[in-house]
Structure 1
Amino acid sequence: MPKPYPREFRDDVVRIAREREPGVTVEQIAKDFGVHPMTLFKWLRQADIDAGTKPGVSGSESAELREARKRIKLLEQENEVLR
């Protein structure tokens, strides 16, 4: 699995894609930065969700859910041991 791109890089590419001039496509921007166009589309969609302009699970909520699920799993394992 490839290493994830740094957060600063993703934010910069999304900002540039949003501020692009007429006639410049998202595909061209993705190619210029060496990312797959679908990856950039996903970043744009997630940025909209994080900004609250589209419904969905934001990045911070997603991290909270992962942590909560880990904690629940650990507690279930501890509960199982106590039985």
Structure 2
Amino acid sequence: MTYRAQPYPRELRERAVRMVAEVTPNYDSQWAAIGAVAQKLGVGTAETVRKWVRQAEIDQGQRPGGSTEESAEIKRLKREVAELRRANEILKAASAFFAAELDRPSTRS
């Protein structure tokens, strides 16, 4: 079984992104700033904070890619498609069952 930790609160993610933007000029690189912010906020790895920063840049139109809203919509639509496929399979099975009932010769006199 794969364990997936609960996501960090949205407020913490937003704070980390703001902090990286504020402190980057004080470091040699954005990566160094990201590492410092991750450590200061107690985030597991700097890579986690880097992903938050990149996603914020995409959402703000500063970087190409799928926005958070687009990703959420795609995820919702995939769930809906899966649900509709399950419903379709149930309807196919029911249709086959009733078709077989209609084809069966009647034993009534």
User: TM-score of the superposition, structure 1-length normalised?
Assistant: 0.90
Instruction: Kindly indicate whether residue 35 of structure 2 is the aligned counterpart of residue 30 of structure 1.
Output: no
Q: Distance in 2 between matches of 1:4 and 1:25?
A: 22
Structure 2: runs of 5 or more not aligned: 93-109
Counterpart AA for 1:22? N
Instruction: Give the match for residue 18 of structure 2.
Output: 15
Structure of higher CA gyration radius: 2
Q: Where has structure 1 moved over 4 Å in runs of 4 or more? A: none
Tell me: higher relative CO, structure 1 or 2? Use CA pairs within 8 A at least 6 residues apart.
Answer: 1
State the number of aligned residues: 83
Q: Distance in 1 between matches of 2:57 and 2:41?
A: 20
Cα deviation, residue 10, structure 1: 0.6
User: TM-score of the superposition, structure 2-length normalised?
Assistant: 0.70
Q: Distance in 1 between matches of 2:88 and 2:7?
A: 35
Counterpart AA for 2:36? Q
Structure 1, residues 13-64: CA drift from partner, whole Å, max 9, x if none?
1101101142372211111111111111111001011111111111111111
Cα deviation, residue 70, structure 1: 0.8
Please tell me the root mean square deviation across aligned C-alpha atoms, in Å: 1.3
Identify which of 74, 90, 97 aligns with 1:81.
Answer: 90
Q: Percent identity?
A: 39
